[in-house]
Amino acid sequence: MDSAIALPSRLPQSAGDAYLKFRLDPQTPAVFSMRSVQEAIVLPTRRLTPIPNVPPAMMGLMNRRSRVIWVVDLAQLLAISSLDANAQQHSIILVQVGAVPLGLAVQQVEGMVRLESNQIQSPIGQISTALVPYLRGCALQQLQKPEMLLVLDPEAIVQAPVLRHHA
């Protein structure tokens, strides 16, 4: 049985827009705007159906609420790293872009953060140029220790060439 990670339906009123924070790998924190996020779940690996002859980033298909959804290793799609192939479960962020649902497997979901639009800076010169097409920008978060968050663009990820040809 898969378990949902509770996302509060009503966020506390504070400055900035709500983002879901997660890790692509131990060194790479990233966020998605909550406007694109449907839910975050932990999915046992056995509930993921692998599909032959697809690019390695495409992990397979999952069934969620009577919908069949592609699941993609987001770090591998972005050429950062790849998830542990022997993991017993995966953290999946379900995003919806228009009519297209997509499951994005990440290393770990960390919770909610708020960012003001002026905190999001251009990634040019700060981030690998291969990542830039998939970013809205980057933001410095100064909670416990300063971290550079990748502010990912779900629309650009859904339009990634590897996904358009197979999904």
Q: pLDDT tens-digit profile of 1-55? A: 455 555 544 444 567 899 999 999 999 999 999 999 999 999 999 999 999 999 9
d(CA 157, CA 135): 9
With beta carbons less than 8 A apart as the criterion, state whether 60 and 53 touch. no
Distance CA 123, CA 115 (A): 16
Tens-digit pLDDT profile for residues 51-82: 999 999 999 999 998 899 999 999 999 999 88
Whole-number pLDDT of residue 13: 52
Categorize the per-residue pLDDT at 147 as very low, low, confident or very high, splitting at 50, 70 and 90. Answer: confident
Whether 84 has a pLDDT exceeding 60, the answer reads: yes
What is the Cα–Cα distance from 119 to 121, expressed in whole angstroms? 6
Contacts of 91 (CB under 8 A, 6+ apart): 5, 22, 40, 41, 42, 105, 106, 107, 108, 109
Report how many domains make up the chain.
1
pLDDT computed for residue 59 by the predictor: 94
Supply the range of the domain harboring residue 136. 16-164
Q: Is the pLDDT of residue 107 over 90?
A: yes
Q: Is residue 3 part of a domain?
A: no
- Mean pLDDT value across the chain: 87
What confidence score (pLDDT) does residue 129 get?
Answer: 78
Is 1 domain-assigned?
Answer: no
In this structure, which long-range contacts are made by residues 49-57, counting pairs with CB atoms below 8 Å and at least 24 apart in sequence? 54/166, 55/162, 55/166, 56/82, 57/82, 57/162
Contact 32, 18 (CB under 8 A): no
Asked whether residue 11 is domain-assigned, the answer is no
Domain CATH for 121: 2.40.50.180
Residue 136 included in any domain: yes
> Is there a domain that residue 2 lies in?
no
| pLDDT above 90 for 125 | no
84 neighbors 71 (Cβ within 8 angstroms): no
Flag whether 9 is in a domain.
no
Q: Is residue 125 part of a domain?
A: yes
